Amino acid sequence: MAWSRKIVLTLLGLLVLCSQLLEGAEEDPAAASNCTEFQTTTWKQYLGDNKLQVQYLLFTPRNRNCASIISGGSIEEIQATNFNSSLDTKVIILGYRALGKKPSWIDGLVQALLNAADVNVLVVDWLYGGSSVYSVVVQNSQELSVNISIVINNLIALGSKQESFHFIGVSLGAHVAGFVGSLFDGKLGRITGLDAAGPMFTKASTDMRLDPSDALFVEAIHTDIDNFGIRIPVGHIDYQINGGKDQPGCTTSQTSSIFLYFPVFGYMICDHMRAVQLYISAISTPCSLLAFPCQSYEDFVTGKCLNCDHPFGGSCPRIGLLRNGGITVNPLPKEEVFMLTTASAPFCAHHILVDLHVTQLRSSSQIQVTLTSEGATQSHSQFKLQRGMTRSKMVMAHSTMLCKIDSIQLKNTGTRFYRKDEIKIVKICISDVPSDRNESLCVENIELTEGNPWSHDFVKLCN
C-alpha cells in the first residue's frame, strides 16, 4: 500500500508538472515588471526537498508598479513601506508552481485590484517551497499559513482590522487562505478561492481544506472540478461556472506546439486557470457576472431556475468586489449557484431563455438555435427533443441583452441522415434571465425541415 501511494503521488506530481509547464510556456517575459522580484527555483531544487522560504510583495496606491519587498514581515519592516492600515488589504496567495516561475496572471490581478479601489495588495511569494513534488508542497502549505498569520498579526498591530483582510487564493493557495482564516477563528473579512485545488483535498476534513467557517464570507469559483479543481462546495457561495468544467474556448488546439504530444494537459490547465481570468475580468469590467441558485447544472440550463428569490431575496450573487457578492440576506446561506459565460474575455454573458413549443414528435430530433446581434455576434446551442414531448426550455449564453438581438435562426439537424423529418413549431420565445419587465420575443407557426434553416429578424427593443 505504501509503494502504491508513493507511485500515485509521483504520477500526480508529474501530471501537474506538465500542466504547469504549459502555463509557463504561455508566459510573456516582457510583461513582467522589473520591480517585482519573485523567487525562482531550479530543477535540482525541484527534485530535492524544498524548504519553505517566503517573501511578501506589497503594492499600494503610492507604489502601484514597483513592489516593496517584505522579507520577514516584522512591524519595523512594514513601517518602512507605504502600507496604509486605514485601507482594506487584498492578500494574493499563489498555488502550486512546479517550475518556480512567476505566474503570468499576477501583474494583471494586482493592477485590477488597485484600479478598482484604494487598497493595499500583498502578494505572498512562496515559489521556493511551493515548487517541488505536489505532496511535499501540500505539506509546506501548512507551515506557510502560520508564516502568513504572523504577518497579518503585525498588520493588525499597526491598526488594520481583521475584517479588512480579503484573501484571494489560487488553486492550492485557496486552501492556504482557509488555513490562515482558521487561525483567526474565521474572523477575517473574506476569502475568494479561485478553483481551489482538488487533489489531496476533496476527501479531506473541513479543518484540512477551505470551508465556510474560515472567514466572515467565503466564496469559491469552480472551473475545473473534473481535473485539478475540488468537486465539493467549500464556501458560503460556490460559483459553478458553465457547470464547473469544460469552459468554452478551452480546446486542445490551444496547446503550445512544444507539447504536441500532450494536448490534454493544455486543455485541463485552460479550464483550471479560467477562474483567475474570470475574476480579473469581473473586477476590471462593468458587466455583471450574475449567478443563479439551483439544485444542479442540468436543472439550470433547462430553465428550472430563473430567479434568485430563494434564498437570496431576489438579489442574485455576483462575482467581483461587492460586499458578500452583492448578497443582502443574513445569515449567509451555503449555496451552489450557476452561470454561463462566453468563450473569451471579458467572459460576461447575458442569460437568454429559449422556450420552444412543438407538436407532439413521432421520433427524437435535434434543433440548433442561433442568436445574432449587431449583424455578426452569434451564439449557438442545441435542443435535444425527445419523442412525445411538446415543450422544451433552455438557457443560452449570449454576448448582448435580449433587446439587442437582431435575429434567430433554427436548423433541424435531425438524427437520421436518410429521413427528412419535419418539425412543426407552435411557438418559440426568447426572454432575458432574470427579467424585470417580463418582455419576450416570440414567433409562431414554423415548419422546420431537416437541412433547411429557418430564420426571423426581430425589431430591436432597446431605446
Question: Do both 125 and 223 map to the same domain?
Answer: yes
**Cα Dmax for the chain:** 80
In whole angstroms, give the CA distance from residue 276 to residue 106: 9
Better-scored residue on pLDDT, 30 or 288: 288
The CATH number for 422's domain is 2.60.60.20
- pLDDT > 80? residue 115: yes
Please list the residues that pair with 170 across neighbouring strands: 194
Mark which of 339, 362, 391 sits at the end of a domain.
339
Residue 463 lies in a domain: no
Provide the pLDDT confidence category of residue 275 given band limits of 50, 70 and 90: very high
Provide the pLDDT confidence category of residue 131 given band limits of 50, 70 and 90: confident
In whole angstroms, give the CA distance from residue 107 to residue 276: 12
Structural domain total, the chain: 2
Can you give the pLDDT at residue 19? 40
Can you give the pLDDT at residue 165? 98
Question: Do both 321 and 423 map to the same domain?
Answer: no
Q: Average the pLDDT over each of 30-39, 57-66, 257-266, 292-301 and give the range with the smallest value.
A: 257-266
Question: Do both 330 and 374 map to the same domain?
Answer: no
Question: Do both 288 and 370 map to the same domain?
Answer: no
Can you give the pLDDT at residue 292? 97
Residue 457: CB atoms within 10 A of its CB come to 10
Segment (H or E) for 310? helix 309-312
Mean pLDDT, rounded, for 347-358: 92
Question: Do both 243 and 307 map to the same domain?
Answer: yes
Segment (H or E) for 22? helix 2-25
Rounded alpha-carbon distances, angstroms, from residue 379 to 174, 287, 348, 404? 33, 18, 13, 13
Strand 292-293 versus strand 237-241 pairing type: unpaired
From 203, 211, 151, select the one nearest 179 (Cα to Cα): 211
Report the amino acid identity of residue 460. Answer: K
Strand 405-412 versus strand 119-125 pairing type: unpaired
Mark which of 318, 339, 360 sits at the end of a domain.
339
- pLDDT > 50? residue 32: no
Provide the pLDDT confidence category of residue 444 given band limits of 50, 70 and 90: very high
In whole angstroms, give the CA distance from residue 422 to residue 403: 30
| Contact (CB, 8 A) for 144 and 52 | yes
Residue 192 lies in a domain: yes
Provide the pLDDT confidence category of residue 178 given band limits of 50, 70 and 90: very high
Provide the pLDDT confidence category of residue 189 given band limits of 50, 70 and 90: very high
Question: Do both 416 and 274 map to the same domain?
Answer: no
pLDDT in tens, 292-311: 999 999 999 999 999 999 99
Question: Do both 324 and 388 map to the same domain?
Answer: no
Grid coordinates given for 358:
412543438
Residue 62 lies in a domain: yes
Mark which of 306, 339, 372 sits at the end of a domain.
339
Alpha helices (H) in 85-215, listed in sequence order: 106-116, 134-157, 172-183
- Cβ-proximal residues to 277 (8 Å cutoff; 6+ apart), any chain: 105, 345, 347
Residue 34 lies in a domain: yes
Question: Do both 232 and 271 map to the same domain?
Answer: yes
Report the amino acid identity of residue 372. Answer: T
Report the amino acid identity of residue 64. Answer: R
Question: Do both 274 and 382 map to the same domain?
Answer: no
Residue 196 lies in a domain: yes
Grid coordinates given for 198:
482538488
Residue 235 lies in a domain: yes
Q: Which residues are catalytic?
A: 171, 195, 272
Question: Do both 317 and 438 map to the same domain?
Answer: no
Mean pLDDT, rounded, for 326-349: 94
pTM of the model: 0.87
Mean pLDDT over all residues of the chain?
A: 84
- pLDDT > 60? residue 386: yes
Residue 230 lies in a domain: yes
Residue 117: CB atoms within 10 A of its CB come to 12
- pLDDT > 70? residue 127: yes
In whole angstroms, give the CA distance from residue 285 to residue 200: 35
Residue 345 lies in a domain: no
The CATH number for 198's domain is 3.40.50.1820
In whole angstroms, give the CA distance from residue 410 to residue 382: 10
Establish whether the linkage from the previous residue to 331 is cis, with ω within 30° of 0.
Answer: yes
Question: Do both 313 and 212 map to the same domain?
Answer: yes
Question: Do both 248 and 107 map to the same domain?
Answer: yes
Grid coordinates given for 183:
487561525
Residue 381's domain spans which residues? 350-457
